[in-house]
Amino acid sequence: MTMQLVIRGGTIVTAEGQFQADVGIRDGVIAQLGGDIPSGQREIDATGKLVLPGGVDIHTHLSSIGSGLAVDGFESGSRAAAAGGVTTVCDFAYQRDGEGLRPAIERAHADGAQSLVDFTFHVVLRDPSAEALDEIAGLPQTGHSGLKMFMSTSRFARRIRDYARALEIAGRPGSLPRSTRKTTPSSTSTQGHFSTRDAQASSGFPTAGHL
């Protein structure tokens, strides 16, 4: 069967090592790696070049932040990503005060419609309201398994019980969220990181809090 695209003569780089082979692509998916690959509707000569999997940037800022936009939006940011070999970006869906988490996700996906590469989102919990807390457990089922909260804001100190409740919900089932902290020598400020990575295998829901 004819391939849509064949990349010939390159050096394939995988987690196992490097080897010379051709790559056949059909319906946007790698259909054959190595062997006798039939002709393609389009062919690329990669002789003398490395052929690598697309990169994944797990921390970008391309979506709407509050009432404004980041310096780069998805159109320009994803164009730069693709030029550098990055084919997936992980951005952030920012919750606004007084709303649940779903509106934040909807806004982020609307921003992502301009993307030239694949994308996913961590959900930023700014207002741990009852509505938002109720939505946390269902987020992984819709593909949103990252939850982020900012520990440096005054609201974190004021609403520590609500944020702790959010971590508890996000960590089910599995082990309790763990916390590591360090105090900088030049000041009394602390830096902390909460995560439920031990629970990820069973719940698929890592959480993180960052300064």
Average pLDDT for the chain: 82
Burial class for 147, CB neighbours closer than 10 Å (0-12, 13-18, 19+): buried
Locate the domains of the chain by residue range: 3-51, 55-210
Extract the tokens encoding 197.
């990575």
Assigned CATH for 55-210:
3.20.20.140
Domains 3-51 and 55-210 share a fold: no
Extract the tokens encoding 26.
């059909």
pTM of this prediction exceeds 0.75:
no
Read off the pLDDT of residues 97-152 as tens digits, 9 standing for 90 and up.
999 999 999 999 999 999 999 999 999 999 999 999 999 988 888 888 888 888 88
**CB within 8 A of 75, min separation 6: which ones?**
114, 115, 116
3-51 is a CATH 2.30.40.10 domain: yes
Task: Give SS3 for 173.
Answer: coil
Spatial separation of the C-alpha atoms in residues 32 and 107, rounded to whole Å:
38
Q: How many CA atoms lie within 13 A of 60 on its CB side?
A: 30
